[in-house]
Amino acid sequence: MRKRKIYIKKKLKYRIKVICFIIFTVLILNCVNNIFNSFHISTDETLINENEQNINNQKKENQEENILLNENNSYEISSDRQDIDDNTTNNFERDINKFKNKKLIAFTFDDGPNSKTTNKLLDNLDKYNARVTFFVVGNRVKTYEDTLKRAYNMGNLIGSHTYNHKNLFELDDNQIVDEIKKTNDVIKEVTGSDTLYLRPPYGNTNKNIKNLVNMYNILWDLDTEDWKYKDKFKIAKYIIDNAHDGGIILLHDLYETSIDGALLAMEELSKNGYAFVTIEEMTTLKGITLNKTSNYFNIK
């Protein structure tokens, strides 16, 4: 009888052990399965996000490429306008009096705006306490209005580089006025502010053109030829070697090498007592009143 009891007890213990083992195994398997699934899903999501990102980047690059190719005949370009607040007032103010005892130099950028390169420059200006002047091509303004608005709201000066970047010597009077008016209108539409400054394409202007456009004609005396070299070190070296008080530097914010070259030069020149100002700030600091009949190669 006692033997029988011991036998039943042993059997029961064995059964409990087996049941426990089965429950434990099921739990472990379930757990492993959950972990695997969640990893799998998150990997898939990452891949999907990355793919979407790549597609978006590709779309953006294609769009930019098309715009660059069609620069001269793209009156109507689809806009990449996103969420823009409608406050177009430039509330930016900086105390330029602190630059009074410094050498002044104006970095000017033609042919933009351009989202990637212009924004790279804007991202880095505060490092050098710098503001610059953009002479924008009118037919690009709506496409890159976010970028232009940002540049303006930061306190950079926005000037005109005409609507289609045509050689003004080859246009009749009506066409010249049209190039100027359309650009000034679109700049005002985006920034809310009139522009008074013009850089004629290729620096080509004359008495008749100046009378027609009725703007301040800003040329340059430091030509980096950045579009030709596309070499940031060469561009930076040219600026550093030729910098002088009142100088106006010609660059193009279409090229990353131009932006990098400008920033390298700022790094060096800031150690040599230079301040980086807009054309307007420079004239204010130097107490110069511009007129609309002169060509300004520098501000002295």
- Max Cα–Cα distance, the chain, nearest Å: 128
CA distances from 69 to 109, 137, 148, 190, 242 (A): 19, 14, 20, 23, 33
Query: Which residue's CB is nearer to Zn ion, number 110 or number 281?
Result: 110
Find out whether the peptide bond into 200 is cis, omega within 30 degrees of 0. no
Residue 201: CB minimum distance to Zn ion, A: 5
Do 147 and 118 contact (CB within 8 A), yes or no? Answer: yes
| Catalytic-role residue among 110, 146, 253, 260 | 110
* Region of 66-74, 110-118, 120-128, 204-212 interacting with Zn ion (CB under 5 A): 110-118
Phi, psi torsion values for 116, nearest 5 degrees: -65, -55
Q: Is 85 a catalytic residue?
A: no
Query: Which residue's CB is nearer to Zn ion, number 257 or number 274?
Result: 257
Rounded distance, CA 167 to CA 205, Å? 9
Identify the CA nearest to 278 among candidates 130, 121, 91, 99: 130
The residue from 64, 67, 109, 110 that contacts Zn ion (CB under 5 A) is 110
Q: In angstroms, how far is CA 139 from the centroid of its own chain?
A: 17
Q: Is 110 a catalytic residue?
A: yes
Residue 117: CB minimum distance to Zn ion, A: 14
Residue 254: CB minimum distance to Zn ion, A: 9
Query: Which residue's CB is nearer to Zn ion, number 158 or number 269?
Result: 158
Rounded distance, CA 96 to CA 289, Å? 17
Query: Helix or strand or coil: residue 160?
Result: strand
Q: Does 226 bind Zn ion (CB under 5 A)?
A: no
Site for Zn ion in 115-174 (CB under 5 A): none
Amino acid at 55: I
Total residues in contact with Zn ion, by rule CB under 5 A: 2
* Region of 6-14, 43-51, 73-81, 102-110 interacting with Zn ion (CB under 5 A): 102-110
Rounded distance, CA 110 to CA 227, Å? 11
The residue from 64, 99, 111, 218 that contacts Zn ion (CB under 5 A) is 111
Query: Which residue's CB is nearer to Zn ion, number 108 or number 191?
Result: 108
Query: Helix or strand or coil: residue 177?
Result: helix
Q: What is the DSSP string of 99-120?
A: GTTSEEEEEEEES---HHHHHH
| Catalytic-role residue among 111, 146, 226, 252 | 252
Query: Which residue's CB is nearer to Zn ion, number 104 or number 121?
Result: 121
Residue 44: CB minimum distance to Zn ion, A: 47
Query: Which residue's CB is nearer to Zn ion, number 110 or number 226?
Result: 110
Site string for Zn ion, 246-275 (x = CB under 5 A): ------------------------------
Q: Does 179 bind Zn ion (CB under 5 A)?
A: no
Residues identified as active-site: 110, 252
Binding residues vs Zn ion (CB under 5 A): 110-111
